[in-house]
Amino acid sequence: MTSLQHNPTFKRRTILLGMVGTVAELAGCGGGGADVAGLSSGGTGSFTSGTISGLGSIIVNGIRYNDDNATLISRDDDSTFRGTLKVGMVVSIEGSSVTAATTTGGTATATASRISCGSEWKGPVSAINIGSSSFQILGMTVDVLTNTEFESEVTGRQATQLADLSAGDFVEVHGYVDRTNGHLQASRVEVVAPDLSACKLSGVTTNFDNSAKSFKLQATPPLTSPITWGTDTSIPTGWSNDVFVRVTLDATTLHASKISLLTSALAQLGNGEGREAEIHGFITSYVSDSNFVVNGLTVDGTNARLSPGTLALSKRVEVHGTITNGILVATKIETPNNSDIESREFEFHGLVTAVSGSPLTFALRGITFKYDNTTNTHGISLAVGSRIEVKAIRSASGWFATDISADA
């Protein structure tokens, strides 16, 4: 058992949700709209889309969703998703209405009924550039943030940061595509068993040639070789130049076996009518501040409060509102930058499975966390089997616990 000392100088994390129940009540009394960073309590249900920022069950956009009985759906083909939900994966969730947190700094909760999940790119690693925090997959650039989660599913292969990757590694990457340069901003990178015949890429079509049955994806630097399709390829109707597609292809021949258009997650999860919604991602199509698309979902920003910044194609946004007729009618739109994303804490709940005194570490849900005398521990002691809640930050050096408390 390791004894932990309380640190009274610890600065509490920024509370993203705020007093959600109170705000919802004020909005219902004609207060002019809810200025909240998370879904409010009540309503007919919830819909959210973003990255998993914690486990126990899963935490997405500040809401702790119980996923025990949720149906998991593969975003790629509507089949059952047979993987394990992990930190950094991009998911869309249809769930119950949200119950507000009961304590200051606590986490609101809901129950997930259906979850859509899938990686964005998959293929062999090349052109690793530590200085620019990037690498490539089939000529397409992956950008890595300081809190991008790295993991290896290959036995005997460790990969916890960009520096651990090697050319030729086969990886599966979760994240969001920036339409201005074609880069994928990674939230999770997994080293997996190679399957060169089933790589994945996504992006905006360029050099579309229907006669030659070939195209490229928008990329900086530009791709040198086109992707091809044929009669053996599953293709969408009405596609052409300058549309966002997801492609399954062979790494050697660059021949596609499947090409699909970017669609709203509501197509898989139901229309979400009347549900409170919060989505995080990049603007994939922009007409005006009142009419734009985020990861396939159309947003009506006519009456939304924008705070702060301006909107444009490929702008990172967090949009709050209600689903009406398949459109997210926004009440608030936020525009966080990379620094905002990198500084956010993750949250974990579960049983301690290992404790070490030198260096100070513990393990929970398969993740090893470091901690020190700056960690706020609330006077508890760590021991194997302890049920705890952990707030943590992620950097190139791994996970660091900023707050450890007993969990109910």
SS3 state of residue 266: helix
pTM (predicted TM-score)? 0.88
**Residue bearing the bigger pLDDT, 14 or 51:** 51
d(CA 80, CA 82): 6
Average pLDDT, the chain: 89
Tell me the percentage of the chain whose pLDDT exceeds 70.
Answer: 89
According to DSSP, the residues that pair with 93 across neighbouring strands are: 48, 115
**Residue bearing the bigger pLDDT, 247 or 83:** 247
**Residue bearing the bigger pLDDT, 21 or 309:** 309
The predicted structure's pLDDT at residue 28: 32
* Region 36-40 average pLDDT: 50
d(CA 127, CA 314): 24
CA angle 104, 58, 81 (to 5 degrees): 165
Q: Which domains does the chain have, with CATH numbers?
A: 2-11+346-406 (2.40.50.320), 20-118+266-339 (2.40.50.140), 121-261 (no CATH)
For residue 394, what is the DSSP state? Answer: E
Local confidence band at 298 (pLDDT 50, 70, 90 cut-offs): very high
Q: What pLDDT digit, counting tens, does each position of 9-37 carry?
A: 333 333 333 323 333 332 333 333 333 34
Asked if residue 35 lies in contact with residue 332, where contact means CB atoms within 8 angstroms, the answer is yes
The predicted structure's pLDDT at residue 135: 98
d(CA 320, CA 304): 9
